[in-house]
């Protein structure tokens, strides 16, 4: 995210966003998912944006401030731009704004759960600016493997 984008997110929620860690959770019998308490404040008050990942079979949890900053930018550019309008239409059709209940749970639609093959146990993975939800069997390997991936990714962008 650009510095300007980070600043607008900080203005929206009052501090930088950082969703980190991996959590194992179970969908309850009503298919509700408890979001880790350490993530709830970072995701924003009241609700979270949820959408399918466009390149992988998982669900993205997007913090309120991050999504609202992106939408504001593109809504302004959309005037008279059919390509941006097409993207906004597609996002609107497949995304959800989900309220947290008093126990910090959300209920993702059956359609999105089916897209990502989420049932029973799931894995929530922080991606710093957002988080992803995967079937539990889609774990990314042991810590040694994850650290090797981290090193390769950091080298690519000279982090």
Digit-coded pLDDT (tens) for 79-118: 778 888 888 888 999 999 999 999 999 999 999 999 999 9
* pTM for the whole structure: 0.78
For the domain that residue 29 is a member of, what is the CATH number? Answer: 3.40.1550.20
How far is it between the farthest Cα atoms of the chain?
49
The residue with greater pLDDT, 136 or 139, is: 136
Q: What is the pLDDT of residue 111?
A: 96
Q: Where are the alpha helices (DSSP H) in the chain?
A: 3-13, 37-43, 64-77, 82-94, 110-115, 143-157
Answer whether residue 14 shows pLDDT above 60: no
Q: Which residues are within 8 A (CB) of 132 and not within 5 positions of it... i.e. 6 or more apart?
A: 53, 56, 58, 59, 60, 61, 124, 125
Number of helices (H) and strands (E) in the chain: give both, helices first. 6, 8
How many domains is the chain partitioned into structurally? Answer: 1
Confidence label for 29 from pLDDT (cuts 50, 70 and 90): very high
Answer whether residue 150 shows pLDDT above 70: no
Report the SS3 class of residue 136: helix
Report residue 79 as tokens.
């005037």
Domain that holds residue 33: 3-157
Answer whether residue 61 shows pLDDT above 50: yes
Dist CA 85 CA 75 (whole Å) = 8
């Amino acid at each position: 995210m650009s510095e300007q984008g980070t600043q607008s997110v900080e203005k929206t929620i009052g501090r930088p966003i950082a969703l980190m860690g991996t959590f194992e959770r179970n969908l309850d019998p009503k298919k509700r998912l408890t979001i880790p308490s350490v993530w709830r404040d970072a995701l924003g008050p009241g609700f979270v944006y949820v959408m399918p990942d466009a390149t992988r079979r998982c669900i993205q949890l997007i913090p309120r401030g991050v999504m609202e900053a992106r939408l504001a930018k593109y809504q302004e550019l959309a005037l008279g731009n059919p390509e941006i309008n097409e993207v906004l239409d597609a996002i609107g059709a497949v995304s959800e704004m989900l309220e947290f209940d008093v126990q910090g749970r959300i209920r993702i639609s059956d359609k999105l759960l089916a897209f990502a093959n989420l049932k029973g146990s799931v894995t929530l993975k922080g991606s710093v600016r957002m988080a992803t939800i995967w079937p539990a069997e889609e774990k990314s390997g042991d810590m040694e493997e994850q650290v090797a991936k981290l090193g390769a990714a950091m080298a690519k962008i000279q982090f």
